[in-house]
Structure 1
Amino acid sequence: MSAEIELRRARVRYGPLEALHGVDLAAGYPGITVLLGRNGSGRTTALRALAGSLRPAEGQVLWRGRDVTRMRAHERAAEGMRFVPDRQAVFGALTVRENLELARAASDFGPAFDAYPELRPLLTRRAATLSGGEQRMLALAAALLSRPRVLLLDEPTQGMSPEVTTRTYDLLGTLDATVITAEQRLPPPLRTPGPRPVLVHELRRGAVVSSGEATERTGPGPQS
Structure 2
Amino acid sequence: MTAEIELRRARVRYGPLEALHGVDLAAAHPGATVLLGRNGAGRTTVLRALAGAVGLSEGQVLWRGRDVTRVPAHERAAHGIRFVPDRQAVFGSLTVRQNLELAARHEDFTAAFDAYPELRPLLGRRAATLSGGEQRMLALSGALLAHPRVLLLDEPAQGMSPTVAARTYELLGALDATVITAEQRLPPTLRAPAARTVLVHELRRGSVTFSGEATEWSTAQRP
Equivalences for residues 103-118 of structure 1 within 5 A: 103-118=103-118
Is residue 128 of structure 1 aligned with residue 145 of structure 2? no
* Structure 1 SS opposite 2:192: coil
Q: Deviations over 1:137-171 (max 9, x none)?
A: 00000000000000000000001011111111111
In structure 2, C-alpha distance between the alignment counterparts of 1:60 and 1:35, rounded to whole Å: 18
- Aligned-residue offset at 1:193: 3.7
Q: Contact conserved, 2:100 with 2:142, CA < 8 A, in 1?
A: yes
**For residue 186 of structure 1, what is the amino acid of its counterpart?**
L
Equivalences for residues 136-175 of structure 1 within 5 A: 136-175=136-175
- Aligned-residue offset at 1:107: 1.8
Equivalences for residues 71-86 of structure 1 within 5 A: 71-86=71-86
**For residue 42 of structure 1, what is the amino acid of its counterpart?**
G
Q: Quote the residue 1:99 is aligned against.
A: 99
Give identity over the alignment, percent.
78
In structure 2, C-alpha distance between the alignment counterparts of 1:122 and 1:219, rounded to whole Å: 42
- Cα 1:141–1:220, aligned 2, differ >3 Å: closer, same or farther? farther
Q: Contact conserved, 1:185 with 1:220, CA < 8 A, in 2?
A: no
Q: Contact conserved, 2:105 with 2:145, CA < 8 A, in 1?
A: no
In structure 2, C-alpha distance between the alignment counterparts of 1:188 and 1:112, rounded to whole Å: 23
In structure 1, C-alpha distance between the alignment counterparts of 2:30 and 2:60, rounded to whole Å: 22
Q: Contact conserved, 1:186 with 1:220, CA < 8 A, in 2?
A: no
Equivalences for residues 21-36 of structure 1 within 5 A: 21-36=21-36
Is residue 203 of structure 1 aligned with residue 208 of structure 2? no
- Cα 1:220–1:48, aligned 2, differ >3 Å: closer, same or farther? farther
Q: Which moved more, 1:187-196 or 1:137-146?
A: 187-196
Q: Normalised by the size of structure 1, how large is the TM-score?
A: 0.96
- Aligned-residue offset at 1:90: 0.2
**For residue 115 of structure 1, what is the amino acid of its counterpart?**
A
Structure 2, unpaired ranges of 5+: none
Structure 1, unpaired ranges of 5+: none
**For residue 206 of structure 1, what is the amino acid of its counterpart?**
G
Q: Report the aligned-residue RMSD.
A: 1.4
Q: Deviations over 1:109-156 (max 9, x none)?
A: 000000000000000000000000000000000000000000000000
Q: Contact conserved, 2:192 with 2:198, CA < 8 A, in 1?
A: no
In structure 2, C-alpha distance between the alignment counterparts of 1:129 and 1:43, rounded to whole Å: 29
* Structure 2 SS opposite 1:217: helix
- Cα 1:143–1:48, aligned 2, differ >3 Å: closer, same or farther? same
In structure 2, C-alpha distance between the alignment counterparts of 1:106 and 1:202, rounded to whole Å: 40
Count residues in correspondence. 222
- Cα 1:220–1:125, aligned 2, differ >3 Å: closer, same or farther? farther
Q: Quote the residue 2:3 is aligned against.
A: 3
Q: Contact conserved, 1:188 with 1:220, CA < 8 A, in 2?
A: no
Q: Quote the residue 1:15 is aligned against.
A: 15
